[in-house]
Amino acid sequence: MAQTSAAPLTRRQKIEQKEHALLWAARQMFVEHGYDGVRMAALAKRVGMSEGSIYSYFSTKSDLMQAIVIDFWREIADGARASVSSDDPPFQQLCDLAEYHLATVIKHFDFLDLTVTLRRGADDNIVSREQLRAYTSVFDDIFRKAVDCGEISPDVVMWLVRDTFFGTLEYSARSILGRRTQSTSDMTLVIDNLLEQIQKSYGLNTNGAVSASSLEERITTRLESVADRLEGAMTQLARDSNLES
């Protein structure tokens, strides 16, 4: 805003602009033709650069891809966070997140597919697990809040629900895309069904079976949470040690 319309910020800005164009064009091409289906020469022509220039932005085809993927995940992670309003009750937030996730997976299916494809790049792991974790943490935060609010029983194992949540949505997305026509009502159906299930199975306000969980149960749950933290700490420790070498 401090910048008047005609003021050309040569240098840095121009460069970032080009990098952006490059990333965007590359992303489209990768989705369309697959990683191996894109030739650097074709990409260069598409963005109006020379092949050599691309290499001044990203030193490798694989690097370029990685940058795209990172951007993508940051983008949809932000979207996920934005899709829920922290004022709503956690359950509503979960519902919003589900809606966002399903819609996103369907919209960017090809790209996600490509992403998966590249988790197998033998030599160089283009897509890391970190990016995924950043995304799922949105769910985790809401979930923990739900527990705090008493909407969900504290002895529910989070990862079980998380896996059900994302697993069901992802598979449903594939299933929906497999059909001839994608009706939004199918999406609504999936989300309602999923949330209802979670509500019935783990919710507190219903007089469900889970509420009968005994004291012992709670004890083990706590133990588990301790184990979680311990494990996390240890893993971190191990990783740090490795990186030093």
Binding site for DNA (CB under 7 A): 10, 15, 18, 36, 38-41, 49-53, 55-57, 59-62
Restricting to residues 74-103, which ones interact with a second copy according to CB under 8 A?
A: none
CB 140 to a second copy: min, Å:
13
Q: Give the chain's end-to-end CA distance (angstroms, integer).
A: 46
Q: Is 189 in the site for a second copy (CB under 8 A)?
A: yes
Question: Which C-beta is closer to a second copy: that of 82 or that of 192?
Answer: 192
Could you identify the residue written with the tokens 């030193």?
59
Between CA 15 and CA 57 the distance in angstroms is 9
Query: Is the Cβ–Cβ distance between 98 and 41 less than 8 Å?
Result: no
CA gap 40, 30 in Å, rounded: 11
Footprint of a second copy on 124-153 (CB under 8 A): 129
Binding partner of 57, given a second copy, DNA, none, CB within 5-8 angstroms per partner class: DNA
For residues 51 and 196, which CB has a smaller minimum distance to DNA in the complex? 51
- Separation between Cα atoms, residue 64 and residue 70, nearest integer Å: 10
Closer CB to a second copy, 9 or 227, in the complex: 227
> Which residue from 58, 159, 182, 205 is in contact with a second copy, where contact means CB under 8 A?
159
Minimum distance of a second copy from residue 205's CB (angstroms) = 12
Instruction: Show the tokens assigned to 227.
Output: 């184990």
Whichever of 41 and 230 has its CB closer to DNA, that residue is 41
Q: Which two tokens stand for residue 38?
A: 């894109």
Q: Of these, 16, 78, 124, 231, which contacts a second copy (CB under 8 A)?
A: 231
In three state form, how does the secondary structure of 102-153 look? HHHHHHCHHHHHHHHHHCCCCCCCCCCHHHHHHHHHHHHHHHHHHHHHCCEC
218 touching a second copy, by CB under 8 A = yes
